[in-house]
Structure 1
Amino acid sequence: MTEDDPTDEISDIEARIEALAEIAERCRKYILASRIAIASGAALLLITILGLFGFGQTAALGSIALILGGIVSLGSNVSTLRQTDDAIHAAEALRAQLIARIDLRLVEDAPLKLM
């Protein structure tokens, strides 16, 4: 392999893309958990306000904290997911450029031999 051979660099970029994909998937899971927390907190707050189960002020404060925590977590993870997706697209573009620099040969299929 020559010094100009980008094969090692392509391998490094592919490893980075895989790591970024794992981060993106983790962000998606946290986003889902955040949405569940917001919905649960809103439901608990509604139940508390309507007085359906006799929960007190502590439940109302807890539900507000759950909603706010969910909103903060959602915003943080959405932002991280966008940045990660941008990094993935940039790495994929760089990988495509490096692959384009490689002198690839066309491999043709050999004719099939019938028995």
Structure 2
Amino acid sequence: MAEDDPIDEISLIEERLEELAEISERCRKIILVSKAAIAGGVALLLVTMLGLFGSSQVAVIGSIALMLGGIVSLGSNVSTLRQTIAAISAAEVLRSDLISRIDLRVVGDSPMKLS
């Protein structure tokens, strides 16, 4: 990045912020699916334990696998989301710093004329 042109740096930071926002949204969707998988696994296990679905070992193993998979996916994506949010915050601070270094001028500072 060129240190003498903060506008180019700001553009790169904006692109990075867009990428991070997409990652964040994807993590949120996966977290929601993971929670649904955990709930589905618990429900399937309860139904199997109560004998409503039949006493199938495959259903018990499947429900346990669904719960464990959901837990692992949930933990991984929560961690990724936290890291992404921290990266977004850092990029926003850097962007604000670069914007404050730019010598901004007010355009169109003339009084308005009424017809």
TM-score scaled by length of structure 1? 0.92
Separation in 1 of the partners of 2:109 and 2:66? 61
Counterparts of 1:36 and 1:69, CA distance in 2 = 11
Q: Does structure 1 residue 10 correspond to structure 2 residue 10?
A: yes
Superposition pairs of residues 44-63 of structure 1, within 5 angstroms: 44-63=44-63
Give the percent of matched residue pairs that are identical in Structure 1 and Structure 2.
72
Unmatched 5+ stretches in structure 2: none
What is the aligned-residue RMSD (CA, Å)?
Answer: 1.7
CA deviation profile, 1:17-73 (whole Å, cap 9, x unmatched): 000000000000000000000000000000000001214111011000000000000
Tell me which residue corresponds to 2:33: 33
Structure 1 unaligned residues grouped into runs of 5+: none
1-structure distance, mates of 2:112, 2:12: 38
Query: 2:72 maps to which residue?
Result: 72
The TM-score, its normalising length taken from structure 2, stands at 0.92
C-alpha distance in structure 1 between counterparts of 2:22 and 2:109, whole Å: 36
Aligned pair count?
A: 114
Residue 104 of structure 1 aligns to a residue whose secondary structure is coil
Equivalents in 1 of 2:55, 2:108: separation in Å? 73
- How big is the shift at 1:109? 5.2
Question: Who is 2:88 aligned against?
Answer: 88
- The alpha-carbon deviation at position 6 of structure 1 amounts to 0.5
Letter in 2 for 1:33: V
